[in-house]
Amino acid sequence: MNMKRRDFLIGAAGSAALLGCVKDDYRRASIEEVRNAFYHHEGPSYITLLSMVATSNDVSEHSGLLISGDQRVLYDPAGSYDPSEQTGWYAPPRKYDIHYGMNNLAVAQYERFHARLGYYVLRQTVEVPLSVANLAIRLSEEKGETFQTQCASSVSWVLKQLPGFEAVGQTMLPNKIREDFIRIPNVQTSTFRENDVGQNYETANLTVGNPDDIAPPPKPEYNRG
């Protein structure tokens, strides 16, 4: 089989199996809810490519973007993560493929949902000017809702329009975005791993009352990858 075709099948089928298609039954947040969830993360503005990677072959099967500009949001196209389904979880508002109010607790929940036996979360972070981060947020909002297996197409569509991200090409393959992202200067890489079986919403040591004191920062010093 042609290798490019093989990689495409791995990326597309794997992405569907890992996260499923966009959910049609979630409640889209109102403008007021989005406004009230506004969360600004202190420190430099940045964009983090989040890749869900299979440990069996080290191939990325889903892509999302954590974007920290005037506010911090998660762009999770074609993702099925929905903390509102779980009692006791912090559930920031979601409108289309954007999760707003992404404080450290929200980031930790998202990563813990995906990291498990067989998969880990790869973080690739680039500090950017505030204007670039805000542009990424605006483009993510403009993209609207993404169909099943199209996560990489939407993520690369956003990234390739940003100044400084010329190395990222349009693609259907999450692993190709990951490879292109490495070519951006000053990328900082880290991983998040867990050994539980299956996607989980286990709260463990997460405490809703202190959302900014729980999760590691976006560029932690452990598990360097």
DSSP for 174-212 reads: HHHHHHHHTTSTT-EEEEE----SSS----TT--TT-TT
Q: Token digits for 169?
A: 């090409």
pLDDT > 80? residue 117: yes
Segment 81-116, tens digit of pLDDT: 888 777 777 888 999 899 999 999 999 999 988 888
Give residue 205's pLDDT band: very low, low, confident or very high (50, 70, 90).
very low
| CB hemisphere CA count around 111 (13 angstroms) | 27
Residue 50, SS3 per DSSP? strand
DSSP for 27-42, written as a single string: PPPPHHHHHHT----S
CA atoms lying within 13 Å on the CB side of residue 68: 21
Residue 96 carries which DSSP code? T
Pairing status of strand 46-54 against strand 59-68: antiparallel
Give me the torsion for CA of 61, 208, 42, 145, rounded to 10°: 40
How many Cα atoms sit within 13 Å of 123 on the Cβ side? 28
Q: DSSP alpha helices (H): ranges in 51-162?
A: 104-114, 130-143, 151-159
Residue-wise pLDDT for 29-88, tens only, equals 888 989 999 999 999 999 999 999 999 999 999 999 999 999 999 999 988 788 877 777
Instruction: Phi first, then psi: give them for residue 66, nearest 5 degrees.
Output: -100, 115
pLDDT in tens, 155-167: 999 999 999 999 9
- Separation CA 119–CA 194 (nearest Å): 8
Measured distance CA(72)–CA(204) in Å, rounded: 24
pLDDT at 14: 45
Residue 98: the pLDDT is 94
Residue 80 confidence (pLDDT): 76
Once rounded to an integer, what is the mean pLDDT over residues 123-134? 98
Low-confidence winner among 61-65, 116-120, 199-203 (lowest mean pLDDT): 199-203
